[in-house]
Structure 1
Amino acid sequence: MRVAITSRIYRPEPSAASLFLGAVADDLTARGDEVVVLTARLPRGVKPLDSVEEVRTFPAVRDRQGYIRGYVPYLSFDIPLAFRLLFLRRPDVVFLEPPPTTGVVVRVICALRRIPYVYDAADIWSDAADQATGSRLVIRVLRAMERFGMRGARRLVAISQGVVYRARALGVERPIEVTGFGADTSAFTPDASVPVEPVFVYAGSYSPWHGADALAEAFAIFSRDHPGYRLRFIGNGSEREVIEQRAAEAGVADSVDFVAAVPAEDLLPHLNGAVATLATLRPNTAYEYAFTTKAYSSLAAGCPVLFAGPGPTSRFIAEANTHVRAGIACDYDVTQIAAAMSRLAEERLSSEERDDLGRWTAAEHSLAVVASRVSDTIAEVAAEAGGR
């Protein structure tokens, strides 16, 4: 079959979505399917990869951090996408990666061309936006667009049952397959040759609903008895200035680093050399059902995770700890986070334990397995459409 993937972000641009979509493309091409990816032109300085799938790019507006984020950047990708998809040689099925504006474009064009599409409901964008803006009008419009895009899909794939519940609450009645999420275990593996240094790493985006600013204050408490450690943020997000301010107020600004998002091969040494990675989720929001997918890559690299907040990530770490030393889950509380940092620093995993952690993650939570489930759903939709 011929599959079109539409996404504003794709490999080698570093993000969880890029890794996920690339894995799906790899699985589809391995099955003998033809894949064309309609995406944005890569940021300056990022070189394209040699790949089996056909990747077609088009310029889009990026923010100061080089990311396609915000209303104007989204539209700069979605408006041209409408024409690109309209005149594309007809695919059997389209696989859609949000934001909701892309969902609107894909639904309209696919309806005109009578092409079925599968919607990747990795999370609910309007819930995330609810934490970033106080405008009820913006949220209502975004929810309407998201609902429109989801309802037009032949099927949806979701990372967790929590996303399914939220989609149903939005009035989405289409079939939803819970495929989960995993780590690219071909890219993230333990490496005993990399020395573990006194550093904690937060890898990924830091938006208001993440609440990563609490880590700065917790790190200050931890540093009183553990001098010489560093807190490193790798990625991007709208909360950088908030985090910097919290670090300055707590007196640890000189020990907090900010590094731009990097490809998996460049992120891996940071994970291999960290005492632990950090992940947070702010409580009392509409986004408490979210799963922090960055945990998978960390565990695959043999690096334990400290998670603070509500939701399914805590349950996941607790279950993982029955098999390996996966890390610590605690409440979203600076004192508890600091205590967890202390425990991880004082009870570091041995090289053998980090190897065990990586092997367990590869066996149980490989992104390749997840991609295969998504490919199955895409194939089923294409077969159903062809049989009508």
Structure 2
Amino acid sequence: MSMRIAIVSRIYRPEPSAASSFLGAVADDAVARGHHVTVLTARPPHGIDVGEPAEDVRMSPVLRDRSGYVRGYLPYLSFDVPLFFRLLFLPRPDVVFMEPPPTTGFVVRVVCTLRRIPYVYDAADVWSDAAQQVTASRLVLRVLRATERFAMRGARAIVTISQGVLDRIATLGISRPVVVTGFGADTTSFLPPTEAEVPTERVFVYAGTYSHWHGAEIIVDGFAAFTVTHPGYVLRFIGNGSEREALEQRARELGVDHAVDFIETIPSADLVPHLHRAVASFATQLPDSGYEYAFATKAYSSMAAGCPVIFVGPEAGPTGAFLHRANAEVRGGIVSTYDAASVAAAMTALATDPLTAPERHRVAAWTAAGHSLAAVAARVVDVLEASGDDAAEHA
């Protein structure tokens, strides 16, 4: 039976991000099943072509920070306040699927309660845990924790990417049904190179957001040590984040600012050639943050494009375990401890012995076979269908 599904998120394709790709894949699967999908989202940054999506995408203006991202109190409010009315007067959906922040979850719960609409909460991570890395204010953390719990507790179901996040949600006293759907790569966008011989450049890439909890400054430290014996390489950050000024300052302090590039956020189609040519990409996670259960999802996209990953962070976490499993079958990358010498050693290993074209194709094929975003999206739509059907039966 056809359903009306609403997706609520401050970020959506074509604005590049892991959340955009994930939500777009959910919409694609739902549309393919015959459902009508409406997306309530923000207008993307200037210059990004929205195309002609099959789903009904409704965009509204939103405040963005200096890096062009919807992040911070005022940007969140600029999306969440109008959202209350947009969702309130939207033709009644059978189910709502929402993406954090928790403030958006607060609005969704209030409106859905008023209209008696079930909603499903996407808990890719726990925001109030991540916030501990950027603020010491107990008041802010208490309010954020309470808001996040309020949003989760009103959901008909919660979907998450890993058992680690599920366990963390349980410790917060959330008793709603939680389904681990996993996460994967958008294999329709992140494709392996078509060339028989891959023209690897002397470049390492960090693609995506670089906020405090990512701890990406360790890459600059490691790169500085690496260039002492391997001059002529470039470290390229593609994306945005609150730590850009700190990263630029660190590069200047270490005397490598001439070899560290910063490129603004670009669409996936433009990012993929950078991954094809790079020696490796980086994914980082600040250790001892209380956030070790989180997964660095950018690893999926990089490997889907055939680019190996250097993960810098806790080896015992899910990202390190994922790379170790991958390396048992393909050369997926290297797990580095969070120190400059270890990062430099990982860069040296891949610069000395870069992946060949056949190896890159094997990495891409392995990732597509077992970690396709399409398969994850299908599991999410199963949850949405069950939530909508369950609500109809109890109406």
State the match for 2:136 in structure 1: 134
Shift of 1:169: 1.6
Q: 1:370 maps to what in 2? A: 376
The equivalent residue for 2:183 is: 181
DSSP-derived class of the 1:11 partner: coil
The answer on whether the counterparts of 2:4 and 2:94 sit within 8 Å (CA) in structure 1 is yes
Instruction: Write the letter of the residue equivalent to 1:229.
Output: Y
- Give the partner amino acid of 2:331: R
Q: Which amino acid in 2 is paired with 1:15?
A: S
1:8 matched to 2:10: yes
Structure 1: unaligned runs, 5 residues or longer:
none
**Alpha-carbon distance between aligned partners in 1 of 2:13 and 2:155, rounded to the nearest angstrom:** 24
Decide whether the 8 Å contact of 2:39 with 2:58 is kept in 1: yes
Q: Secondary structure at the match of 2:288?
A: coil
- Give the SS at the match of 1:24: helix
SS of 2:262's equivalent in the other structure is: strand
Comparing 68-77 and 239-248, the one that deviates more: 239-248
**Cross-structure match for 1:337:** 343
Superposition pairs of residues 55-70 of structure 1, within 5 angstroms: 55-70=57-72
- Once superposed, what is the RMSD of the aligned Cα atoms? 0.8
C-alpha distance after superposition, 1:33-66 (max 9, x if no partner) = 0000001112111121211110111111111222
Q: Structure 1 residue 189: deviation in Å?
A: 1.2
- Runs (4 or more) in structure 1 with deviation over 4 Å come to none
Identify unmatched segments of 5+ residues in structure 2: none
Partner of 1:216: 220
2: distance between equivalents of 1:41 and 1:205? Answer: 19
Deviation digits for residues 10-42 of structure 1 (CA, Å, limit 9, x no counterpart)? 100111110000000000000000000001112
8 Å Cα contact 1:158/1:177 also seen in 2: yes
Q: Give the equivalent residue in structure 2 for 1:195.
A: 199
**Rounded Cα–Cα distance in structure 2 between residues aligned with 1:21 and 1:249:** 40
* TM-score normalized by the length of structure 2: 0.97
SS at match of 1:46: coil
- 1:321-355 CA-to-partner distances (Å, cap 9, x unmatched) read 11111000021111111101100111111000001
Cα deviation, 1:129-172, whole Å, max 9, x if unaligned, reads 11011111111111110110001000000011111111112111
**1: CA distance between counterparts of 2:194 and 2:259?**
25
Q: Is the 1:192–1:351 Cα contact (8 Å) retained in structure 2?
A: no
State the distance in 1 between where 2:194 and 2:279 align. Answer: 13
Following the alignment from structure 1 to structure 2, what is the Cα–Cα distance between the partners of residues 381 and 128?
28
1:207-244: CA deviation from partner (whole Å, max 9, x where unpaired): 11110001111001111111100000011111111111
**Aligned counterpart in structure 2 of residue 353 of structure 1, from 319, 343, 359:** 359
CA distance in 1, matches of 2:170, 2:152: 10
Amino acid at match of 1:343: A
Q: Name the residue aligned to 2:161.
A: 159
1:270 aligns with 274
Cα displacement (A) at 1:248: 1.2
Tell me the TM-score normalized by structure 1.
0.99
Q: Which of 305, 309, 320 is 1:314 aligned to?
A: 320
- Percent identity over the alignment? 63
Mapped partners of 2:268, 2:194: distance in 1: 18
The letter for the 2-side match of 1:120 is: D
Q: Distance in 2 between matches of 1:114 and 1:167?
A: 24
8 Å CA contact 2:95, 2:384 repeated in 1? yes
Query: After alignment, is 186-195 or 85-94 more displaced?
Result: 186-195
1:84 counterpart = 2:86 = yes
Following the alignment from structure 2 to structure 1, what is the Cα–Cα distance between the partners of residues 234 and 371?
A: 29
1-side partners of 2:201 and 2:46: how far apart? Answer: 31
Aligned position for 1:94: 96
Q: Return the alpha-carbon distance in structure 2 between the equivalents of residues 318 and 147 of structure 1.
A: 34
Is 1:302 matched with 2:310? Answer: no
1:288 to 280, 287, 292: 292
Tell whether the 8 Å contact from 2:159 to 2:180 is kept in structure 1 after alignment.
yes
Paired residue type of 1:368? A
Q: Distance in 1 between matches of 2:275 and 2:78?
A: 34
SS in 2 for 1:222: helix
CA contact (8 A) 2:162 2:181 kept: yes
Residue in 1 that maps onto 2:330 = 324
Deviation at 1:192, TM superposition (A): 4.6
Aligned residues: 388
CA distance in 2, matches of 1:112, 1:243: 46
- Equivalent position amino acid for 2:329 in 1: H
Contact 2:16 2:265 in 1 (8 A): yes
Correspondence list, 1:112-127, <5 A: 112-127=114-129
**Letter of the 1:179 counterpart:** T
Name the SS for the 2:311 alignment partner: strand
- Aligned match of 1:150 in 149, 152, 157? 152
State how far apart, in whole Å, the 1-side matches of 2:153 and 2:370 are.
32
Instruction: List per-residue Cα deviations over 1:99-157 (Å, max 9, x = no partner).
Output: 00000000000000000000000111111111011111111111110110001000000
